[in-house]
Structure 1
């Protein structure tokens, strides 16, 4: 195989990857399973690429789950205690069908909408963030990745 043929092969593979990547949900492309909006927060694991001006970009999805855990622990300190209160704070009606969001996350986690979330219970928080990632980006991540992120928070 000539050098030119090798370069064309590698180039075609890169193009195929880029075309495939473009079809993925935004949160998956950004390693941001919860679609956390861009902020002035200098998150641990934040990507230096900064291609998306609206949403955070992380080096790895586990850092997106970590950020989610920190956000929800902050919500609890601010007085948002129930599943419904937290999701309405995170995914407001002006951007989402928040009632449906709460209903689906409640169904997937077994946590009732008016049930208090124990943000210090890593297992409960990981299940919540995993379910929210399903709602935000689809079935791209497993519970174990959410658990790893929560453990880092």
Structure 2
């Protein structure tokens, strides 16, 4: 039986480091024994809260750090000291449907949804949440579909 990737088990599909006081983080009493033993990564109450955190980080990358391309975003998200960042950039750019150095807008729902989905898949051995879960997580971050 295949194991569920850590990011999925922790409702943290972006594998975001612990340390920041994220909205939606699980309280110790809500965690499994395995989650209580986690030393590095944040544990969220539900996947939507982990997706919200991904979107909020992406928004910060765009506004605060002026990162507007997949290459810029992924190089900050998954630095080369820990990752095969060039492969990560290529996979995410392909999934988003842009070149690695083309500008992207993470406040645009369609772009954000593709970007978040690609990060989740890359961080979690190809795992993908249903689009409704991603939609709810993005809504928690203020990224809404246009009607």
Instruction: After TM superposition, give the deviation of residue 144 of structure 1 in Å.
Output: 2.7
**Structure 1 gap ranges (5+):** 1-19
Give the conservation status (yes or no) of the 8 Å contact 2:93–2:100.
Answer: yes
Please state how far the C-alpha of 1:67 moved relative to its aligned partner: 0.3
Over alpha carbons, which structure has the higher Rg? 1
Q: Deviation at 1:38? A: 1.0
Which residue in the other structure is 2:119 paired with? Answer: 132
Which of 18, 36, 56 is residue 38 of structure 1 equivalent to? 18
Q: Which runs of 4+ in 1 moved over 4 A?
A: none
Q: How far apart, CA to CA, are the structure 2 residues paired with 1:97 and 1:145? A: 28
Closer, same or farther: CA 119–140 of 1 in aligned 2, 3 Å: closer
**How many equivalent residue pairs?**
132
| RMSD of aligned residue pairs (Cα, Å) | 1.6
2:84 and 2:114 map into 1 onto residues whose CA distance is 21
Q: 1:123 corresponds to which residue? A: 110
- In proportion to residue count, which structure has more helix? 1
Give the structure-2-normalised TM-score. Answer: 0.83
